[in-house]
Amino acid sequence: MKRIFFGTLFLALVIVVTIPTMAMGGDVGINISLPPLIVFDAPPEVVVIPETYVYVVPDSDEDLFFYDGWWWRPWEGRWYRSKDYKSGWSHYQGVPSFHREIPPGWRNDYKNHKWKDHQWNPQRIHHQEVQQNWGNWEKNRYWEKQNTWGVQGLKSRTQSQQQPQTVQPQQSQPQDQRATQKSKSRDEKSEKGKEEKQDKK
């Protein structure tokens, strides 16, 4: 009888001690709640934010971005990402690097069709087209080559990177000047030679 009593007491102690310990260990990371789903009537269209390769759903009240093969959204001070805009959100620790490139007033720029005081004609793109092509577009600098993101008069990054190359002909002028100086000195020598011949006569 004593064995049954002590066995039951021991079992009760084990249960009482291990359950709170498990609960304490299990609380780590569980308190991060997931954002509510964003419901769309139809699959969303996106626009590319000028001077970036970040795509955004302009018709949503919530910020919803597509970048580097992931859908991204901030919610309650945290960032979440998913491979599907409809579901599968998981917490992302920190702020994604692309977000530094996004001006806070991008929505007003979109509504006013202005980007840095230039006319902006954003091209709406179906989400599937972006998901299929984003990697090649970024690799081949597609938006810089295609009307610079739809912003009139905006110099693309590739153009600004090429500017030092257009400056090089000015740097090569000293060589041209040397060639000009050589031809001048030749002309002067030939004139001196003619003058000497005339003096001898």
C-alpha distances (whole Å) from 52 to each of 99, 125, 151 are 10, 15, 12
Residue 80 corresponds to which tokens in the numbers above?
Answer: 């979440």
For residues 83 and 70, the answer to whether their CB atoms sit within 8 Å is: yes
pLDDT per position as a tens digit, 44-69: 999 999 999 999 999 898 999 999 99
Q: What distance in Å separates the CA atoms of residue 90 and residue 34, rounded to the nearest whole number? A: 7
Q: Which residues pair with 56 in a beta bridge?
A: 47, 65
Number of domains in the chain: 1
In this predicted structure, what is the pLDDT of residue 191? 54
Residue 170 counted as domain residue = no
R_g (Cα) of the chain, nearest Å: 35
What's the full length of the chain, in residues?
201
pTM of the predicted model as reported, rounded to 2 decimal places = 0.62
Residue 173 counted as domain residue = no
DSSP reduced 3-state for 70:
strand
Residue 177 counted as domain residue = no
In this predicted structure, what is the pLDDT of residue 33? 84
pLDDT tens track of the chain, all 201 residues?
A: 656 655 555 555 445 444 443 444 444 445 678 888 888 888 899 999 999 999 999 989 899 999 999 999 999 999 999 999 999 999 999 999 999 999 999 999 999 999 988 999 999 999 899 999 999 999 999 988 876 788 888 875 544 444 433 333 333 333 444 444 444 455 555 555 555 555 554
Residue 99 counted as domain residue = yes
pLDDT per position as a tens digit, 164-194: 333 333 333 334 444 444 444 555 555 555 5
Domain residues for 64? Answer: 45-153
Residue 36 counted as domain residue = no
